[in-house]
Amino acid sequence: MAVCGAVEAAALLPLPPTPFTLARGSTATVGPDIHIKVGLTLYSMPWKLIGRKVDVRSTATMVQVFLDGDLVKTHAALEQGKRTDKSDIRRRRSPSG
């Protein structure tokens, strides 16, 4: 046993400086209410993406949303519920301007 351990130990690489983060990938479509569903949670998206398919990378702490490979939104992860960023909502112009 000691011989095998010594031979294998020489081939081992050091651990990376940061631990591996387990992530889940999925796709979603931005609904007319500007939200996508990831698991049991709704996350808001910029209103210009309504109807578009996006790629989602979710971890225990963060949800990242990509369109055509570009990061378009990051949310802190929720177990369930709804997270809306007010800046995603289309602002209507006032009648005077």
Statement: residue 7 has pLDDT above 80: no
Segment 74-97 shows an average pLDDT of 79
36, with CB counted inside 10 A (0-12, 13-18, 19+), is buried
CA 19 vs CA 15, 22, 77: distances in Å:
8, 10, 19
- Write a three-state SS string for 20-54: CCCCEEEEEECCCCCEEEECCEEEECCHHHCCCEE
Statement: residue 96 has pLDDT above 60: no
Q: Write down the pLDDT at residue 77.
A: 94
Segment 68-86 shows an average pLDDT of 92
pLDDT band for position 68 (cuts 50, 70, 90): very high
